[in-house]
Amino acid sequence: MVRAARGWPRWLYSLVLYLLAPFVWRRVWCEHALTNLRRERLGLIPRIATESPRLWLHCASVGEVQAARPLVEALLQRYPSHQLVVTTMTATGAERVHALMEARRQAGEPERLVHRFVPLDYPGAANRFVARLSPALAIFFETEIWPNLLAACRRRGVPTAVVNGRLSPRAFRGYRRLRPLMAEALGQVDWLAAKSRGDAERYRALGMPATQTDVVGSLKYDLTPDEASCADSKRLCTRLGSRPVWVAGSTHPGEEEALLQAHAALRQPYPNALLILVPRHPQRFEAVAELCRERGFSLARRSLGEWPGERTAVYLGDTMGELLTLYGAADLAFVGGSLVPVGGHNLLEPAAMGVPVLTGPELANFVDVAETLRHGGALVEVPSSAALADTLVTLFLDESERHRLAEAGLAVVAANRGALARTMDGLERLLPVK
């Protein structure tokens, strides 16, 4: 009776999930990849043929997979006898993991990286998944706190960690309403590696024990662009020539309209200016292409192999996994999700490519990163599309300022690296290298 009383928040949570099952299943039905069976959502994953021990890393979607790339490589290097199973919730995340697997195959690396979909967080599905996978260590990236999966790991004696732990003030306000459930879930976590002191404090306020929490910094600073991306950027930059080029990455509905408006204003003094537009979600590629045409912009699409000529106004980056390459080919980079109330996206990706970083005011998801870039003089913030247009014109007129911003961004990234080493040291306490 005492155990049941202690577990009532998770029991109630599971009951609500069962009641919402038709709606939950309808949502994930669309998140399908041809490489995976839908039954993986119920924990019915194929048994992995090899008897090698396994590590499990869970990332929600494509952004988290991209941010976790340094961790993926470090885990494979630190634990050479283990397979690494990366799970995602979304199909776009699955595609990104399979791209990493293919890159490793082409480089002649052993096939030790595997992708599976994470199961829906029902008790039965969670228990089946953990039983079949039988990981030696479970790692959850950023805010992926799933009560039944964590409980299943604890039941089977699997050590668990939350790494690059992020909890924005907005997310904290929502989770605080569920504090009994969150306290029970976080009580199953053996170690939490928080991005910042503020993130750690918010996790502790939800019930994460302070003795099992460390502030290690953001893994995003440990992003090192691979040689292939840098080489592709140089080739693309050479082909584009000396025309003004700016990129808007990870954009959202309502934001593209404002960006196209700013681009139209930029093309008044710079008629050959090119915008490389990269929507965040691939299911919106067609809609964004149609929007560009409706606004009267000549368009080239990367997915179709089309090349932006001198008269092309917009180059649509409608492919997956090439954002770093496209950032590196531009003179300026605007990071999306920041002119609309989304909370922003990874400001460090263009900075790591040596490209000046521009952003809108909505930065709730990257407050700490924005503050670090701001302190280093490496962030240009604009409140509106009109201000963005003026800023673009000003920066294209001032090459020395563009160079200063680029160098400042690279310096900030270099100065803040080290979270990866601290994270790996913490994980090794949970799973010592033999």
The CATH number covering residue 392 comes to: 3.40.50.2000
Alpha-carbon span 378 to 125, nearest angstrom: 46
Q: Looking at the structure, do residues 204 and 192 belong to the same domain, yes or no?
A: yes
**Does residue 374 lie in a domain region?**
yes
CA angle 216, 65, 253 (to 5 degrees): 110
**293: which 2 tokens?**
């045409």
What's the mean pLDDT in 390-403?
97
- Our CA angle for 188, 122, 13, nearest 5°, is 70
State whether 237 and 153 are in the same domain: no
Q: In whole angstroms, what is the distance from residue 307 CA to residue 295 CA? A: 20
| Mean pLDDT to the nearest integer, 39-56 | 88
396 and 277: one domain?
Answer: yes
Total domains in the fold of the chain:
2
pLDDT of 103 reads 84
Instruction: Output the pTM of the full model.
Output: 0.82
Is residue 245 located within the same domain as residue 158? no
144 catalytically annotated: no
Q: Is residue 406 part of a domain?
A: yes
181 part of a folded domain: yes
Q: How confident is the model at residue 42 (pLDDT cuts 50, 70, 90)?
A: very high
Q: Which single residue is written with the structure tokens 């996994």?
A: 321
Q: Are 245 and 273 in contact (CB under 8 A)?
A: yes
Mark whether 276 and 201 lie in a shared domain.
no
Residue 8, domain CATH: 3.40.50.11720
Q: Are residues 61 and 208 in the same domain?
A: yes
Domain that holds residue 147: 2-217+418-430
User: Does 222 map to a domain?
Assistant: no
- Mean residue pLDDT of the chain comes to 93
Look at residue 155 and tell me whether its pLDDT is greater than 90.
yes
Q: What pLDDT is attached to residue 256?
A: 97
SS3 helix, strand, coil % of the chain, rounded to 5?
50, 15, 35
Range list of H helices, 241-356? 255-266, 285-294, 323-328, 348-352
Do the domain assignments include residue 120?
Answer: yes
pLDDT digits (tens, 9 = 90+) for 188-233: 999 999 999 999 999 999 999 999 999 999 998 998 888 888 999 9
Instruction: Examine residue 34 and state whether it is found in any structural domain, yes or no.
Output: yes
> What is the arithmetic mean of pLDDT over 109-132?
94
Q: How confident is the model at residue 1 (pLDDT cuts 50, 70, 90)?
A: very low
One domain, residues 39 and 76: yes
CB 359 within 8 A of CB 335: yes
Same domain, 168 and 291: no
Cα-to-chain-centroid distance, residue 311:
34
How would you classify the pairing of strands 245-251 and 274-279? parallel
pLDDT of residue 107: 81
In this structure, are residues 100 and 72 in contact, taking their beta carbons and an 8 Å threshold? Answer: yes
Domain-located, residue 264 = yes
Among residues 31, 40, 51, 64, the one annotated as catalytic is 64
- How far apart, in Å, are the Cα atoms of 427 and each of 210, 281, 364? 17, 32, 28
Residues 290 and 423 both lie in one domain: no
d(CA 251, CA 262): 14
pLDDT of residue 6: 58
Same domain, 307 and 319: yes
CB 252 within 8 A of CB 291: no
Of 106-110, 144-148, 350-354, 415-419, least confident by mean pLDDT is 106-110
Distance CA 341, CA 363 (A): 8
Assess whether 202 and 263 both reside in one domain.
no
Does the pLDDT of residue 434 top 80, yes or no?
no
Asked, for residue 66, whether it belongs to a domain, the answer is yes
Residues 303, 363: one domain? Answer: yes
Segment 284-290 shows an average pLDDT of: 97
- Predicted confidence at residue 5, as pLDDT, reads 43
- Residue range 293-327, pLDDT digits in tens: 999 999 999 999 999 999 999 999 999 889 999 99
63 pLDDT above the threshold of 90: no
